[in-house]
Amino acid sequence: KLSIISLIQNETPIMPWNELDAFWMPFTSNREFKSAPRMLTSAQGMHFTSDDGRKILDGTAGLWCVNAGHGREEIAKAAYDQLKELDFASAFQMGHPRPFQLAERLIQHTPEGLDHVFFTNSGSESVETALKIAVAYHRLNGNGSKTKFIGREKGYHGTNLGGISVGGLGSNRKDFNCLIPGVDHLQHTWIKGSEFTKGQPAKGAELADELESLIALHSADNIAAVIVEPVVGAGGVFIPPQGYLERLREITRQHDILLIFDEVITGFGRIGKPFAANRFQVTPDLLTTAKGLTNGAIPMGAVFAHNKIHQAFMNGPESSIELFHGYTYSGHPVASAVALATLDIYQHEGLFEQALALEHCWQEGLHSLSDLKAVKDIRNIGLIGAVELHPGDQPGQRGKQVFLDCYWQQNTLVRGIGDTLALSPPLIINEQQIHQLVEALRTAISKIPT
């Protein structure tokens, strides 16, 4: 076979496929992958190009991040221009303009009150940052015992220690016996009997009442925050039942517990509004994001803090550092420039509104697969969707079969999460491409023996 580098450079092979061993790939069955690599070598708009020259329809926006589509000139130019003007300067006790400009731009999109931005480099770092801010906030208010967290089953909050502790995916936790203490979990929100609901299932408020029991168990005096993804992504795509997020907000407010929305996936138009907080009209105290912030082009994350939280940190002596936390690359000039260019695209092309306008077509397209015997459930909101299959003899086997068939035979990239196919195309997708994506799934799923 030809090599990756030769394909990029159009030269004789200098990196044969059997030299793929050094890169320890994340969240990947490395040995299996390296025996039959799936290599993407370029991308434009809605499509990747694979090493064997096929155009692959991107049903995943890379990994829930390339919301404005691939290969955007404006983004490349912003990165290049910024690299020439100021490649790096620290934001520790120094400043440079881009992150200030970016923060001002970003808070135009957040719900009222979420007016302060702390920059990170990833979703995982955003989560750790939010958890630390929550504990420090209560301490500053004289409530130093409020240190526990409530997460949720099936929640995914990145892979750092705080994130896997509040996260609810056993596979991400089991090998690490060093989770942070004092964490409990709400039940996940999938309700039996709600299969094939379009949009939000009913009866969420009762489910959220479980938080009262956890508060009774641990005492509000000991709980710093509740963290949830408004729409669960990596855990299998679960849409919040009606009233659920609203009720969590009510209960947390009553007990002086902070509410953190992890919007790493739902940020930047994925469900037709800047954030899920806007869509559901529930304002958390802290909101974490990343991914779509830079269209996936450069790593960057952010935590939005409510004014009341920010203010609590601003009461000490002016010469003191208010928060002993930050990353070398917090507010990196190039990432900030890329994020600004990304926001321009979202705005000029009306992509958040476009996602909302396409929601119906997306929903009807996905639900048209409900006649397939192998399909157990279909879930959707905005331009996020999931087609869950009845499990076969081995859990996850059917999901993988469909993922592989889509990639090799249907020239379509979908994401297999166990037996669920998760879908999150770039927001520039059109109706014809939605149809194409659905047909690819239909063909691949139809091959499952029932």
Nearer to ligand PLP, 234 or 413 (CB): 234
The DSSP letter of residue 293 is: G
Q: Give the CA count within 13 Å in the CB-facing half-sphere of 206.
A: 5
Which residue from 69, 99, 111, 123 is in contact with ligand PLP, where contact means CB under 6 A? 123
- Which span sits near ligand PLP by CB under 6 A: 93-101, 227-235, 413-421, 431-439? 227-235
Q: Which stretch binds ligand PLP (CB under 6 A): 8-16, 120-128, 274-282, 334-342?
A: 120-128
Give the shortest CB-290-to-ligand PLP separation in angstroms: 5
For residue 56, the minimal CB distance to ligand PLP (Å) is 21
- The stretch near ligand PLP (CB under 6 A) out of 54-62, 96-104, 121-129, 324-332 is 121-129
- Which one among 3, 124, 172, 336 touches ligand PLP, defined by CB under 6 A? 124
Q: In this structure, how many other beta carbons lie within 10 angstroms of the beta carbon of residue 175?
A: 7
In our burial notation (b when 16+ CB lie closer than 10 A, e otherwise), range 366-395 reads bbebeebebbbbbbbbbbbbbbbbeebeee
- Nearest CA to 66 among 353, 331, 383, 337? 383
The reply to whether 233 sits near ligand PLP by the rule CB under 6 A is yes
Beta carbon of residue 443, minimum distance to ligand PLP (angstroms, whole number): 28
- In single-letter form, the type of residue at position 398 comes to R
Give the residue with the Cβ less far from ligand PLP, 56 or 61: 61
Q: How far is the CB of 422 from ligand PLP (least distance, A)?
A: 10
Residue 204 near residue 243, CB atoms below 8 Å = yes
- CA pair distance 102, 270, nearest whole angstrom: 20
When asked if residue 122 is in the footprint of ligand PLP (CB under 6 A), the reply is yes
Q: How far apart, in whole angstroms, are the C-alpha atoms of residue 27 and residue 46?
A: 24
Nearer to ligand PLP, 123 or 272 (CB): 123
Size, binding site for ligand PLP by CB under 6 A: 14
Q: Is 156 in the site for ligand PLP (CB under 6 A)?
A: yes
Q: Does 158 bind ligand PLP (CB under 6 A)?
A: yes
Task: Give the closest residue to 373 by CA, choosing from 398, 410, 393, 396.
Answer: 398
CA distances from 209 to 183, 189, 237 (A): 18, 12, 22
Question: Quick one: CA torsion of 32, 38, 41, 44, rounded to 10 degrees?
Answer: -140
Which residue, 132, 356, 24, 432, is CA-closest to 118?
132
| Spatial contact of 158 and 264, defined as CB atoms under 8 Å apart | yes
By CB under 6 A, tell whether 425 contacts ligand PLP.
Answer: no
Cβ-based nearer residue to ligand PLP, 137 or 156:
156
Cβ 62 to ligand PLP shortest distance, Å: 11
Given a contact cutoff of 8 angstroms between Cβ atoms, the answer to whether 64 and 424 are in contact is yes
Which residue of 47, 109, 152, 157 would you call a contact of ligand PLP, by CB under 6 A? 157
Check binding of 379 to ligand PLP (CB under 6 A). Answer: no
Nearer to ligand PLP, 51 or 285 (CB): 285
Does 329 sit near ligand PLP (CB under 6 A)? Answer: no
Q: Of the two residues 99 and 162, which places its CB atom closer to ligand PLP in the complex?
A: 162
Residue 234 binding ligand PLP, by CB under 6 A: yes
Distance (Å, whole) CA 247 – CA 251: 6
Q: How far apart are CA 37 and CA 218, in angstroms?
A: 48
Residue 290 engages ligand PLP in binding (rule: CB under 6 A): yes
Q: What strand order describes the sheet that includes 55-58?
A: 40-44, 47-50, 55-58, 412-413
Instruction: Tell me how far, at minimum, the Cβ of 264 lies from ligand PLP, in Å.
Output: 3
Residue facing ligand PLP at closest CB distance: 123
Q: Least Å distance between CB 170 and ligand PLP?
A: 17
Residues 248-277 contacting ligand PLP, CB under 6 A: 262, 264-265
Q: Which residues bind ligand PLP (CB under 6 A)?
A: 122-124, 127, 156-158, 229, 233-234, 262, 264-265, 290
